Amino acid sequence: MSTVNLKLNADLHCHSTVSDGLLTPAEVVRRAHANGTELLALTDHDELSGLAEARATADEVGLRFVDGVEISVTWDNDTTLHVVGLGIDPAHAGLCESLAHLRSGRDRRALQMSDELDKVGIHGAYQGALRFVSNPSLVSRAHFARYIVEIGRAKDVKSVFDYWLGKDKPGYVRHVWASLEQAVAWIRDAGGVSAIAHPLRYKISRKELRRMFGEFRDLGGEAIEVLSGGQCDADTREFARLAREFGFLASRGSDFHGPGESRIDLGKLPALPEGLTPVWTKLV
């Protein structure tokens, strides 16, 4: 592995308006390029419809681009995980159908969330959230969060999750997403590599996290995000160690959603620690 390769400014996790990002796919690509990104993947939640515009813009500005997706998964009964697929074929019929089915539950869930929020005095949340939605088949909790901030019931999006929308909070509605097995198989069948997104974000013990990594690897999962937006150096070192132990490739992604809403901007992550094999060895 050459050092140059390890130091590549890759950003392999971010969002556009086709899911819950604030910028269009073209704007995401232009911003990533302006920030010095050398390899970019757009990874909208359960949705591929931004990839053509992103790739066309990337070709225009001369930025290497990887087709990506971030799949919502329910693991071990009630833990929501996110699995990023990198280098997938955006025209793969099986993947397109599976994701369309996965998205189809979101609207009903959004209506249920709105009912729950209504009970605690947050009224009109469904209609309110819709004003922030660009893709009607992709209503996310992030859209609800923007509405709740707008009406002054929380000071920022993060607080909305702490008080209203996070797991076991009043507006939380349990939802069953894809299984880990399905997500890995869909990504593999569409020619991609799967990576566990932001492994720090899950509210499970380190023991459970290791069990999940083991299952993921046994299913054919190949990578984890060793670097994700907003984590500290000690966390990065821990995930570097785990990547080596489990034999995972290392991914790097800001999880950028928009200016002012993300702790790390596109292409502004630190370098991967030494001694890892970057996931982009399989992508470029």
Q: Note the residues at the interface with ligand AMP (CB under 6 A).
A: 20, 45, 72, 140-142, 157-158, 161, 257
Q: Choose the stretch contacting Mn ion; rule: CB under 5 A; options: 52-60, 63-71, 216-224, 263-271.
A: 63-71
Residue 146 binds Mn ion (CB under 5 A): no
142 or 187, CB closer to ligand AMP?
Answer: 142
Closest to ligand AMP by CB, 6 or 177: 177
- Indicate whether 255 belongs to the interface with Mn ion (CB under 5 A): yes
- Of 20 and 225, nearer to ligand AMP (C-beta) is 20
**Residue 173 CB, nearest approach to Mn ion (Å):** 16
Among 20, 67, 225, 265, binds Mn ion (CB under 5 A): 20
Per partner kind, with CB cut-offs from 5 to 8 A, the member of Mn ion, ligand AMP, none near residue 158 is ligand AMP
In this complex, which beta carbon is closest to ligand AMP, that of residue 168 or of residue 274?
168
Question: CB under 5 to 8 A by kind: which of ligand AMP, Mn ion, none does 242 bind?
Answer: none
Burial of residue 28 (number of CB atoms within 10 Å: 0-12, 13-18, 19+): buried
User: 26 in helix, strand or coil?
Assistant: helix
Q: Return the number of the residue (81 or 269) whose C-beta is nearest ligand AMP.
A: 81
Nearest residue to 86 (alpha-carbon basis) of 192, 186, 14: 192
Q: Which partner in ligand AMP, Mn ion, none is near 157 (CB below 5 to 8 A by kind)?
A: ligand AMP
Residue 82 · residue 216 · CB < 8 Å:
no
**CB of 144 within 8 A of CB of 113?**
yes
Task: Give the residue with the Cβ less far from ligand AMP, 141 or 252.
Answer: 141
Q: Report the nearest approach of ligand AMP to the CB of residue 114 (Å).
A: 13
Pairing of strands 79-86, 193-196: antiparallel
| DSSP per position, 173-238 | -----B-HHHHHHHHHHTT-EEEE--TTSS-S-HHHHHHHHHHHHHHT--EEEEEETT--HHHHHH
For tokens 């076991």, name the residue: 168
Report the half-sphere exposure of 49 (CA within 13 A, side-chain side). 16
- Residues interacting with Mn ion, by CB under 5 A? 20, 70, 82, 142, 197, 255
